[in-house]
Amino acid sequence: MGPVGKTVAVVMVAMSIYSLWVMVERFIVFTQAKNQSLKLLGALSNLLTRGEYGQAIEVTKKYKNSHLAKVIAAGLLEFEASRRDKRTVDPELAVEAARQGMDRTAMITVAELKENLGVLATIGATAPFVGLFGTVMGIIRAFEGMAKSGGGIASVSAGIAEALITTAGGLLVAIPAVWAYNYFQNRIDRFTVEMSNSGSEMAIYFMKEAGGANEKAVG
């Protein structure tokens, strides 16, 4: 294998190692998000029923890797702050502030979950072409050797076979990267739905709380 082929091989090894690191890192992040979210929901239900916002916010801080914890905490903080603000006369404004806070946090969380996934997409798209480049350069080198030696096609068959290794290597790097990218995108889609559902449920909860507080104030 010539200098170009060796360089291409080194590049593909680097791409493979980096994509593997991204796969492992994202898998850990997503697994923690799922597990912590399940624990969070169980811990929050009683606190929210009793209206203990402060305790509920403290609980969300214990599950920093939970995507749902971030959304729920944002809603609780905004709702509580708006209720304490003397300028917020209409309870619906507190609910709307909480809803907007949860929406903003959900978008930020989705962006965080997508971190480094662009690398997998890039590697999946470019690795085959990097390997193909190595193959083309290897074939050119093999035919140049045939021209200099004056041999037939048999004399370059070994060189061509060697050059094709980089194409196979490119596919070997790209296929897992594409699979992983699609897998993580599907999980992000599920997390997005979960955050949207939790946000809607919290908004309904805040409306009930605001309505109850308003009735007490009138009474």
Indicate the number of domains in the chain. Answer: 1
Q: Could you tell me if residue 56 is inside a domain?
A: yes
Q: Which amino acid is at 171?
A: L
Query: Given this model, what pLDDT does residue 218 score?
Result: 40
Task: Reply yes or no on whether the pLDDT at 145 is more than 90.
Answer: no
Asked if residue 74 belongs to a domain, the reply is yes
139 part of a folded domain: no
Question: Does residue 69 fall inside a structural domain?
Answer: yes
What global pTM score does this model have? Answer: 0.81
Domain that holds residue 70: 3-127+183-212
**Higher local confidence (pLDDT), 89 or 125:** 125
Residue 151's pLDDT is what?
A: 60
Phi, psi torsion values for 153, nearest 5 degrees: -65, -30
Region of 2 please: left (phi>0), alpha (psi -120 to 50) or beta.
Answer: beta
In a domain, 187, yes or no: yes
Contact present, 63 and 34 (Cβ < 8 Å): no
pLDDT grade for 216, boundaries at 50, 70 and 90: very low
Q: Is residue 96 part of a domain?
A: yes
Residue 105 has pLDDT above 90, yes or no: yes
What span, in angstroms and rounded, lies between the C-alpha atoms of 139 and 136?
Answer: 5
Q: Which of 33, 93, 42 is nearest to 68 (CA)?
A: 33
pLDDT band per the 50, 70, 90 thresholds, residue 16: very high
Residue 127 near residue 173, CB atoms below 8 Å? yes
- Does residue 41 belong to any structural domain of this protein? yes
Mean pLDDT of the chain: 84
Fill in the amino acid letter for 52.
Answer: E
Is 72:60 a contact under the CB 8 Å cutoff? yes
- Round to whole Å and give the CA distance between 186 and 119: 17
Crossing angle, helix 3-49 and helix 67-84, to 10 degrees?
A: 50
* CA–CA gap between residue 67 and residue 114 (Å, rounded): 12
Per-residue pLDDT for 195 more than 70? Answer: yes
